Amino acid sequence: MRKKPYHFFEHDRDLVLAEIGKEKLLSALKNMLLVRNLEIRGEAAYQQGKVGGFYHSYMGQEAIQAGCVAAVGVDHWFTTTYRCHALALLLGATPNEIMAELYGKATGNAGGRGGSMHLYAAHLLGGLAIVGGHVPIATGAAFSIKYLKKKDLASFCFLGDGAVVQGAVHESLNIASLWNLPCLYVIENNKWGMGTAVERAVCVEPIAESFAPAYDMKFYTLDGMDFFNCYAGFKEALKEVLATSRPVMIEAVTERFRGHSISDPALYRSKEELARTMQRDPIVLLKDALIGKGMLTEERFKEMDKEQKEIVLAAMKFAEESPDPDPMTLEQGVFAPEEN
């Protein structure tokens, strides 16, 4: 792999802090803690056999989607990968319905049809689990936005570093640029496509800085561990997209704390490497910044963490006590109802 230096998006932290304000910052931190707690408890439930299928944790990457949603709101279209618990939460799916979906219950986010990899919200098209296959879908949402002349909206497509080499991604990027579609392609480079290191799968890094010019797109490289950098970068990128009706490419450099999925012990990564990564825990970084600005205390942080844990424990109770899907409903929903 040809590795060139990264050029990170630059932001003035104090300006960003002032712009967001204490209330919104604490709310974002709370959301990140909710995601973290949900992943921890979801994994525990999996280990107890309450959750089946695959389980892909977002732990370590929280600042990216939390920063994005804090910066751009929930009215745009969003599409993401199988690592979808965080975005569903951030876009309004409740902890109860998400946990119930993980448990495969009738009260779940998709009625027990989708599971861990297929979560939804009013403007979240999934939770789609074929690597790269969701990128045309997100591009289609951008097509609709343009067709329906909704000038203040864009489509956000989150994909992994492993997906950027898929043909569907290339086709989407070419068409989005050709047709001037308002789409933000957000590559979350978490260093690993399952157990294959990014440098063994992608021929060049940085990804966005190298790929975007070929599609005549603007690009942004974000520090995916830094909430402020993500917030400022997404805000700026959206502004660009809405002003120009052109797609952009974003690479958020991060690293997941867990294996690819719960069944992956991540033996390909040394303990020292992981420990180094976890030193830049996005939640701790945000917490420390807020404490430094006098917006938060260590005690209040612990309380917040505990509150989020309680919410997740209550969601587990809700899921536990929820009914299984009625087998009589098995064939319901294969087809959408017809109007006539």
Using CB under 8 A as the binding rule, the residues of this chain from 242 to 261 that contact another protein are none
Return the residue of 57, 65, 172, 254 that touches another protein, per CB under 8 A. Answer: 172
Among 171, 240, 264, 307, binds another protein (CB under 8 A): 171
Closer CB to another protein, 5 or 167, in the complex: 167
Is there binding between residue 175 and another protein (CB under 8 A)? yes
Dihedral angle over CA of 212, 195, 258, 46, nearest 10: 120
Binding range to another protein, per CB under 8 A, among 58-66, 131-139, 197-205, 244-252: 131-139
> Judged by CB, which is closer to another protein: 138, or 250?
138
Q: Does 228 bind another protein (CB under 8 A)?
A: no
315-334 binders of another protein (CB under 8 A): 332-334
Residue from 143, 228, 231, 301 that binds another protein (CB under 8 A)? 143
Report the residue number, 109 or 308, with the smaller CB distance to another protein.
109
- Is there binding between residue 167 and another protein (CB under 8 A)? yes
Cβ-based nearer residue to another protein, 120 or 231 = 120
Dihedral sign computed on CA atoms, order 314, 325, 107, 140: positive
Minimum Å distance from CB 198 to another protein? 23
Give the integer Cα–Cα distance in Å for 31 and 34: 5
Binding to another protein by CB under 8 A, coded x per residue (else -) over 21-60, reads ----------------------------------------
- For another protein, the binding residue among 66, 102, 141, 296 (CB under 8 A) is 141
| x/- track of binding to another protein for residues 77-96 (CB under 8 A) | x-x-----------------
Distance CA 189, CA 207 (A): 8
Footprint of another protein on this chain (CB under 8 A)? 77, 79, 108-114, 118, 120, 125-126, 128, 130, 133-141, 143-145, 147-148, 167-168, 171-172, 174-175, 178, 332-340
